[in-house]
């Protein structure tokens, strides 16, 4: 059986992306303000044609794109991913008018998107949403409630918002709405978080929406959310793999050059074994991510399980690899501005967002037992 490998064209594309990220995107990222949307960076992602790839590529290409950008510039990777997460429901479930209004701006970097699912009391349990969509005449609603820890909030130009249209119906009573940021009653505030990305709250005080703002049908929003997450969960794993590979390469260089105990740090068996473990876990996680993405592209029936496995394994692996890299570098890795200091702040959040590690284990177990529940 031949060993699994990417096509030469895919490998070359990944190398090109890493170079673009280092030479054209990282300088713009460094000029941005932490916690704010970097519109210059988004414009460059649009100019390079990378934002357009969010909508005309499959899951595997999305994973290769996110991994390659993450290796050289996590800010660029996340800016791109947040555009995709917020706008994918419009691309996949929007009306022709909705797509024509918003997607051109998303792909050229002039319209900022947000995916507004999480609430203060409903994070991992997405079916427990309490943001109300109260009827306001025929085919109209008013949104009342709060969303929290929303990426790109409150600066996004539009949000995909998930609200409860049928009380007491659980997942079956949620509707997705496309809500422009200039709607009356919609406000928000930035949150000061560990990672440098824009994250905030959104407050809805009777925000008006109509049937023209619905994505995917009334009371069918939970499906919109889950389909979006099934696509993006493996690519969250790809983001994590990109960070792990950057930390591993930095560690290989450091341990090969650092003098210690009459030799190089790499000559110490304990160090060499730790580096071997870092590489083993990183490569294993990468294979799981690429397998999940391929399954999605092929329409395999076990996508939810594979997506959860990929996201779980890759994010936990990246946490281990970055932490071990910091340990092997010593105090220098904790200096502000060091690559590993940056990765150490970046690597923690992916274990929580788009379904925490514990949620992924629950999804995997549920999918495994499905055949026994028939």
* Residues annotated as catalytic (active site), given as ranges: 354
Under 8 Å CB-to-CB from 182, ≥6 apart: which residues?
none
Residue with tokens 């949307």: 37
138 phi/psi in degrees, rounded to 5: -85, 125
Cβ-defined contacts of 325-330 (< 8 Å, 24+): 325/247, 325/248, 325/250, 325/251, 325/278, 328/251, 328/254, 328/255, 328/265, 328/271, 328/274, 328/275, 329/250, 329/251, 329/254
Q: What is the DSSP string of 90-132?
A: HHHH--HHHHHHHHHHHHHTSS-EEEE--BTTBSS-GGG---E
Residue 289: CB atoms within 10 A of its CB come to 33
Query: What angle do the packed helices 269-297 and 221-257 form, to 10 degrees?
Result: 150
Please state whether beta strands 158-164 and 113-116 pair in parallel, antiparallel, or not at all (unpaired): parallel
Asked if 56 contacts 85 with a C-beta cutoff of 8 angstroms, the reply is no
Residue with tokens 């990282």: 26
HSE-up of residue 276 (Cα within 13 Å, Cβ side)? 8
**What is the distance between the alpha carbons of residues 254 and 103, in angstroms, rounded to a whole number?**
44
360 phi/psi in degrees, rounded to 5: -60, -40
Torsion 224-230-233-238 (CA) sign: negative
208 phi/psi in degrees, rounded to 5: -80, 135
Task: Report how far apart, in Å, the C-alpha atoms of 153 and of each of 25, 116, 126, 161, 273 are.
Answer: 22, 9, 19, 12, 43
Distance of CA 59 to the CA centre of its chain: 13
* Overall residue count recorded for the chain in this entry: 374
């Amino acid at each position: 059986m031949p060993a699994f490998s990417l096509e030469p064209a895919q490998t070359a594309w990944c190398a090109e992306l890493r170079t673009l990220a280092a030479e054209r995107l990282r300088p713009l990222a460094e000029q941005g303000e932490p916690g704010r949307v970097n519109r210059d960076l988004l414009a460059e992602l649009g100019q390079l044609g990378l934002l357009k790839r969010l909508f005309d590529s499959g899951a595997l290409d999305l994973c290769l794109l996110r991994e390659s950008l993450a290796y050289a510039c996590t800010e660029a990777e996340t800016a791109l991913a947040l555009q995709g997460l917020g706008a994918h429901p419009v691309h996949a479930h929007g009306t022709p008018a909705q797509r024509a209004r918003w997607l051109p701006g998303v792909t050229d970097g002039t319209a900022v998107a947000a995916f507004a699912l999480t609430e203060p009391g409903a994070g991992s349990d997405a079916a427990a949403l309490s943001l109300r969509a109260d009827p306001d005449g025929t085919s109209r609603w008013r949104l009342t409630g709060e969303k929290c820890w929303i990426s790109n909030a409150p600066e996004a130009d539009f949000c995909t918002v998930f609200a409860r249209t049928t009380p007491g119906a659980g997942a079956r009573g949620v509707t997705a709405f496309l809500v422009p940021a200039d709607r009356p009653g919609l406000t928000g505030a930035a949150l000061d978080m560990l990672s440098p990305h824009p994250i905030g709250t959104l407050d809805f005080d009777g925000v008006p929406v109509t049937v023209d703002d619905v994505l995917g049908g009334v009371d069918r929003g939970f499906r919109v959310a889950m389909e979006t997450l099934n696509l993006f969960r493996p690519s969250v794993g790809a983001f994590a793999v990109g960070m792990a590979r950057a930390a591993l390469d930095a560690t290989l260089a450091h341990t090969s050059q650092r003098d210690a105990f009459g030799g190089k740090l790499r000559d110490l068996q304990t160090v060499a074994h730790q580096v071997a473990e870092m590489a083993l876990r990183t490569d294993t996680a990468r294979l799981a991510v690429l397998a999940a993405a391929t399954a999605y592209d092929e329409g395999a029936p076990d996508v939810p399980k594979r997506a959860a496995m990929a996201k779980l394994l890759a994010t936990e692996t990246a946490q281990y690899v970055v932490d071990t890299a910091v340990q092997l570098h010593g105090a220098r890795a904790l200096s502000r501005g060091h690559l590993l200091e940056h990765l150490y702040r970046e690597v923690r959040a992916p274990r929580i967002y788009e379904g925490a590690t514990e949620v992924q284990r629950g999804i995997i177990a549920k999918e495994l037992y499905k055949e026994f529940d028939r």
